[in-house]
Amino acid sequence: MKHIRALLLVLFAASAMILTAGAADAGQAPTSSWCSSGNIASGSYTSLSVTGNCTIPNGAVVTVARQVTVARGAALNAMTASTVHVRGNILVAPNATLSLGCSFELTQPPFPGGPVFCPAGVSHDQVDGNITATGARTLKVNGVTLNGNLVSVGGGVAVTGPDASTCEQHPAPLNFPIKDNTINGNVMITGWQGCWLGYIRNVQNGNAIILGNRTADADSTEIVTNTIHGNLVCQANTPAPQIGDSHGEVNTVSGHKLGQCAAL
């Protein structure tokens, strides 16, 4: 009963996360800068709306005083050696993609001859509010200091067919990596579909809830090497959370490990 009560408390907190995810910008009416394609130049912006495929290039320094919005079907690529500081929230709309941050680990090949995801170096990115995604295509958040919550509900694309279990090796896999971040709030990732999902090497001051995600790669749902000063709850994920081939370690969790992550 003790663990069940803890699970109910965590799920109640998750509901509050969704209801309050936009609170940091409430009551404000910012003027917006827009990007429909190409690079976003260094500078200070009141708010930023991305409506197409836009990139914050290597070396750029971008400060956003209020909110960043990635519109339906748009993509913001800041998985570069840039410096991004968002003082408010980042909102990611259905079928949109947010790629933010490059950690040191992503500058190293994962295996001999393998790809280097951030060849230009690390980023120095910070978000003071929340990252909230509803039906997003994917999130890629790496090496970021996030002072609020990360909430992703639904989204992705189901992967089917005879090669589904090896989709990570395809030229353009649909992955959901959350790696090497410092997160000072709660995390909930629920209902996403794609090739691979991982929550790896994060330091978190809150609860982490990984719930009802369905990924095609048999080596997916790697929930490893995290330090979580709260509870870790995993339920109804396919495949079940695992160490896989990550060479990672069991998570350090101050609260309860519940559900599929009880042994992790």
Q: Is 232 a member of any domain?
A: yes
Q: How far apart are the first and last CA of the chain?
A: 21
101-125 burial string, b = 16+ CB within 10 Å, else e?
bbbebbbeeeeeeeeebbeeebbeb
- Quote the pLDDT of residue 31: 52
Q: Is 173 a member of any domain?
A: yes
Q: Is 50 a member of any domain?
A: yes
207 membership: H or E segment, kind and range = none
Q: Is 41 a member of any domain?
A: yes
- Nearest 10 degrees: CA dihedral of 114, 145, 77, 28? 170
Q: Is 28 a member of any domain?
A: no
Mean pLDDT by 10 residues, the chain (264 residues): 50 48 41 88 96 97 97 98 98 98 91 80 97 98 98 94 70 89 98 96 98 94 98 98 92 98 97
Structural domain of 102 = 2-22+34-109+118-259
Q: Is 218 a member of any domain?
A: yes
- Quote the pLDDT of residue 99: 98
Which residues, at least 6 apart from 164, have a Cβ–Cβ distance to it below 8 Å?
216
Tokens describing residue 39:
């690079």
- Quote the pLDDT of residue 63: 96
Q: How many residues does the chain have?
A: 264
- Quote the pLDDT of residue 7: 53
- Quote the pLDDT of residue 168: 64
The answer to whether the beta carbons of residues 29 and 159 sit under 8 Å apart is no
Structurally, the chain folds into a number of domains equal to 1
Q: Is 27 a member of any domain?
A: no
Q: Is 264 a member of any domain?
A: no
